[in-house]
A and B are shown apart, each in its own frame.
Chain A
Amino acid sequence: DTGVSQNPRHKITKRGQNVTFRCDPISEHNRLYWYRQTLGQGPEFLTYFQNEAQLEKSRLLSDRFSAERPKGSFSTLEIQRTEQGDSAMYLCASSLSLAGSYEEQYFGPGTRLTVT
């Protein structure tokens, strides 16, 4: 399967614990995005990487959230001191930048986080 992969698919954690999610984009894609989706809502943009550079962060990304893409390939999203409001599906997407055309974002299956 050469699509976007995310691990783990499900994570249950207790409030106050730290969690880390991983995203492996489609191999030649240089752009990577993180979104968060809660029940009954559409995905909300969190952050964006072009290669290893984090170029945009949403104000939704509080200081408890940090994302990295150390070698411009896979990315990690860490949430520190989780809160019940962090319970959501965390989606990763990737795209290949091509001058002058829309780049379709391909989404991974998501990591569903439940904070108890």
Chain B
Amino acid sequence: RKEVEQDPGPFNVPEGATVAFNCTYSNSASQSFFWYRQDCRKEPKLLMSVYSSGNEDGRFTAQLNRASQYISLLIRDSKLSDSATYLCVVKPEGGYNKLIFGAGTRLAVHP
């Protein structure tokens, strides 16, 4: 079983739509959680950290459920520029700050 699992998509949505991505992780001792964004043939970039209390950054809302080992990302009012692959990322306890990435969920926003 993979340590971080995501639905690969693709999610094809029209501009203005709300879309949600989910992710599960297997190591209950995981310490920190993130969403990264990766554009086609580019490097991953940090989108936002994920906290148990939930956090919001503009149109993006991230949520963590430690009991269910589940992470979510909600994108409201989708823009064409949101088209990318969204990577769910977990930092295990200890582990010298290495990151464990999911395979990513691809989002395509169309006019």
Interface residues of A (CB under 8 A from B): 31, 33, 35, 40-45, 48, 50, 55-56, 91, 95, 97, 102-105, 107-110
Count contacts between A and B, CB distance < 8 Å: 53
> Which segment, of B41-49, B63-71, B76-84, faces chain A?
B41-49
Complexed CA–CA distance, A103 and B104 (Å): 22
Task: Please report the C-alpha to C-alpha distance between residue A97 and residue B103 in the assembled complex, in whole angstroms.
Answer: 27
How distant is B101 from chain A, measured CB to nearest CB, in Å?
A: 3
A109 vs B44: C-alpha distance when bound (angstroms): 9
Range for the number of chain B residues in contact with chain A: 20 to 34
Cross-chain contact B49 with A102 (CB below 8 angstroms)? yes
Assess whether A45 is in contact with B98, with CB atoms less than 8 Å apart.
yes
Cross-chain contact of A42 among B32, B42, B95, B101 (Cβ < 8 A): B101
Report the separation of the CA atoms of residues A102 and B4 in the bound assembly, to the nearest whole angstrom: 20
Q: Are B45 and A41 in contact (CB under 8 A)?
A: no
Contact of A44 among B42, B44, B46, B101 (CB under 8 A): B101
> Which residues of A sit under 8 angstroms from B42, Cβ to Cβ?
109
Establish whether residues A48 and B101, one from each chain, have CB atoms under 8 Å apart when the complex forms: no
Which of A48, A50, A97, A107 is the most central at the interface, judged by chain B CB atoms within 10 Å of its CB? A107
Q: Mark B54-66, 1 if CB is under 8 A from A, else 0.
A: 0000000000000
Q: Mark B90-111, 1 if CB is under 8 A from A, else 0.
A: 0100011111111110000000
B8 on interface, CB distance cutoff 8 Å: yes
B73 within 8 A of A: no
Question: Contact at A42–B96, with CB atoms within 8 Å?
Answer: no
Chain B residue nearest in CB terms to A46: B98
Q: Which of B4, B45, B49, B99 has the most CB of A within 10 A?
A: B99
Please tell me which one of the listed residues A44, A56, A105 contacts residue B95 in the complex, with CB atoms under 8 A apart: A56
Q: Could you tell me if A48 and B104 are in contact, using CB atoms closer than 8 angstroms?
A: no
